[in-house]
Amino acid sequence: MMNDFERSWRIKIYQNTSKYGSRKAFDDILPIFNNDYVDYSKELITTLKSDLTDDKVATIFCKSSCHMPHSKLKEVKELYHKTKSIHKARVALEQLFKNDIKKYKKMSDEQLDDVISKGWGAAGIMQGDDIIATKIPSMFHEYFAETDTKKKKFYYCHCPRVRKELLQNSELDSIYCNCGGGFYQDIWEYITNKEVKIDVQKNLFDGDDVCQFKIQIGS
């Protein structure tokens, strides 16, 4: 039986395929793989790629991502529009992230300092005019306690739809990981009211140890 998260995600995919791509590509596989999330995702990607450019497929996944509640970001947004400084907004976002994640993940001060020094989390680090953001492990303490490579990737991945495939060395087109990048895109589009481009730099399905994104904010 399809759970609420899956139903919500497929609704977003449906809406964004209609908005940014070809509804026909989506409708062709709507009745197929109803409860098999991974096979459904693979067939979805194949079908979309047969009808659309990779950039459009990436956009569809990016716009179908999970989002941080905008209510949490209001003060960062206000600071940006007062100062027009991406640097100051990123520092404020980092402080917000530190306050939330320490409690949510039950981190020690040392663990939190390590996360921030690596540029992990919502705020990332500045690289010139861009931001490089790296996901933190989803199951934080399990990840650091694990030594098996496959299991570490499973604990790292944030996507409940596909992460079990990392235990099987399954191949999934990494264009799917633009969905993870959309989390950052939505944050910065809300804060700045500008167009934000996401480039997937590293991802688990391409053999990397982390998922990393370049965030480019328009002028």
Q: Which of these three, 35, 62, 89, is where a domain ends? A: 62
Q: Looking at residue 18, what is its pLDDT?
A: 85
> Residue 62 and residue 183: Cα distance in Å, rounded?
8
pTM over 0.85? The answer is: yes
Q: Looking at residue 11, what is its pLDDT?
A: 86
Structure tokens at 32: 């197929």
Q: Are residues 190 and 212 in the same domain?
A: yes
Q: Which of these three, 62, 78, 107, is where a domain ends? A: 62
**Weakly modelled stretches of the chain, pLDDT under 50:** none
Alpha helices (H) in 68-201, listed in sequence order: 74-83, 86-104, 109-117, 140-145, 149-156, 178-192
Q: Are residues 141 and 213 in the same domain?
A: yes
> Residue 61 and residue 43: Cα distance in Å, rounded?
14
Q: Are residues 133 and 39 in the same domain?
A: no
Q: SS3 of 197, please? A: strand
As beta bridge partners, residue 217 has 196
Q: Are residues 75 and 54 in the same domain?
A: no
One-letter identity of residue 168: Q
Q: Are residues 138 and 207 in the same domain?
A: yes
> Residue 48 belongs to what domain range?
4-62
Q: Are residues 25 and 133 in the same domain?
A: no
How many domains are contained in the chain?
2
Q: Looking at residue 170, what is its pLDDT?
A: 76
Residues 8, 13, 187: CA angle, nearest 5 degrees: 80
Q: Are residues 106 and 213 in the same domain?
A: yes
Q: Are residues 57 and 112 in the same domain?
A: no
Q: Are residues 130 and 49 in the same domain?
A: no
Q: Are residues 93 and 151 in the same domain?
A: yes
> Residue 97 and residue 110: Cα distance in Å, rounded?
15
Report pLDDT digits (tens) over 47-84.
889 888 999 999 999 999 999 999 999 999 999 999 99
> Residue 182 and residue 200: Cα distance in Å, rounded?
10
Report pLDDT digits (tens) over 152-162.
999 999 999 99
Residues 96, 97, 99: CA angle, nearest 5 degrees: 65
Q: Are residues 91 and 188 in the same domain?
A: yes
